[in-house]
A and B are shown apart, each in its own frame.
Chain A
Amino acid sequence: MKPARFEYAAPESLDEALGLLDEGSKALAGGQSLVPLLNFRLARPERLVDLNRIPGCDHVREEGGSLRIGMLARQVQLTELEAWPLLRDAVDHVGHPQTRNRGTVCGSAAHADPAAELPAALLALAARFHVRSASGTRVVAAEDFFVGYLTTVLEPDELLVEIEVPPHPPQWRFVEYARTHGDWAMVGAAVAGDRTALFATGDRPRLTRDLAVVDDPWKRAFLEEALA
C-alpha cells in the first residue's frame, strides 16, 4: 500500500527539528521500520520530521573508552566494530545489507520492537540513552528506556540523539533463532559479562538470567541449550 497524506519537514539543524516535534509528528531517520508502518497505514502521523539533512550526527566513535553512536549512524557502521563485538554480532542479524545501509542504530532503539536485536544488545551492554527536547536534555539508563511493545520512555517532543555504550566486557555471546536469516527473531539473547538480555520473549527486551521467566517452553528450551 501507500502512505496516507502527511506534512513533510526536513530541518537542517537539531534545534529546528526539536521545535517541530509534537504529538502529531514522527521523526524519520533510516525509515526501515517507520516507512513499512506508513505503507501499511498502521502509522498515520500528521507530520514527518526528516532528520537526514541534519549534519554532524552520523558518528560511531570511541570517546574516553565509551562508544558514542549518533542518531543518524547507520546499522552498517557497526559491522566492523572490533572493540564492541556484541554489537557487531547483533547487527549481523538485523535485516539485510540494503536495510542496514539505511536503518539507524538509534532508530532501532527508539522503535523498540521486542524481537529486535540491537535493543537487547544495548541493554546487555548497559548503554545510556541521551535524549533531547526543546526544553532540555536527559540521560536514560537502558533498564529504564524500554517500557513495552514498540514503546520507550521518549515523549513525543523528544529525540534520542546519541547512545553511549560503556567499555565492552571480555565475555560476550549473541544467540538467536529465526526462521530465515534476517527475519525477525523468534527468540534470542545478548550476553555481555554477567548481564543477559533476552529478546522476543515478551513485550520488551528483558535483563535476566532466569530463563524460568520465558513462558514458551520451546523458546525456553532453545535458550537453555544455546546459553549452556
Chain B
Amino acid sequence: MRVSVEINGRPYERDVEPRTLLSDFVRHDCGLTGTHVGCEHGVCGACTVQLDGVPVRSCLLLAVQADGRSVRTVEGLEWGPLQEAFHAHHGLQCGFCTPGILITVDALRGQALDDAQIRDALAGNLCRCTGYVQIVEAVKEALNA
C-alpha cells in the first residue's frame, strides 16, 4: 500500500505491506535509525515517537495507520536545554533508551512537574543502565529551564 507520512516536517512516500510496523517504516524505509526498537510489544518505550504531537509506541502502530499524519522522531528534536541537561546530569549511559525518553519528555515541555509526576511520566520508558536518578534530575532541570 502507498503511504505518505510527514516525518520531522519532511514528506516520505513509500510502498509498504499493511503489516509493516511504524517503527520499521521509520527505520528501514525512511532510514531514520534514531528511533530504537527494544521489546516490540509496547513495554520498553525505546521506539516512542510523537504522532501529531502525542507520544505513542511506534512498534504498536502500523505504518498504514500513519498515512496522512505527522510523525516526529528524535532526529526532529532541536538541540537545546533537554539534551544539555541529559549531558550535564549523565542522564544516559549506553543511550539505547534515550531517543524514546527525549521524545516523551519533549511533549511535557511547559508543564511544571514534581519528582513523582516526572517518574510517572517516565514509567513507560525502561532504562537498564542509569537507575533513573540522573534521568529524573535531567528532566527536572530541562522542564524548569
Contacts and interface: CB of A to CB of B under 8 A. Distances in A.
Interface of A: 1-8, 10, 31-32, 35-36, 38-40, 48, 50, 52, 95-99, 101-102, 180-182
Nearest to B56: A102
The 8 closest A-B pairs by CB, nearest first: A96-B124, A8-B18, A36-B41, A3-B19, A35-B60, A98-B55, A102-B56, A98-B124
A36 B123 contact: no
A23 to B, nearest CB: 19
Contact of A35 (B1, B17, B42, B45): B42
Contact of B41 (A4, A8, A39, A50): A39
A36 B18 contact: no
Contacts of B57: 32, 98-99, 102
Nearest to A7: B18
Given A2-B21, A5-B17, A36-B42, A97 B61 contact: no
B137 to A, nearest CB: 20
Nearest to B60: A35
Contacts of A40: 41
26 contacts: A1-B40, A2-B40, A5-B18, A6-B18, A8-B1, A10-B64, A31-B62, A31-B65, A32-B57, A35-B42, A35-B59, A35-B62, A36-B60, A39-B40, A48-B62, A50-B62, A50-B64, A52-B65, A97-B121, A98-B48, A98-B55, A99-B42, A101-B55, A102-B57, A180-B123, A182-B124
B60 A102 contact: yes
Contacts of A5: 17-19
**A-side binding surface: helix, strand, loop or mixed?**
loop
B129 interface: no
B42 A32 contact: yes
Interface residues of B, number: 27
Given A8-B18, A97-B123, A182-B124, A31 B55 contact: no
A101 B41 contact: no
Contacts of A4: 19
B124 A50 contact: no
Nearest to A31: B60
Contact of B24 (A2, A10, A36, A52): A2
Q: Among B19, B59, B125, which residue has the most Cβ atoms of chain A within 10 A? A: B19
Contacts of B18: 5-8, 48
B104 interface: yes
Contacts of B62: 8, 31, 35, 48, 50
B54 interface: yes
Contacts of A48: 18, 62
Interface in B9-46: 17-19, 21, 24, 40-42, 45
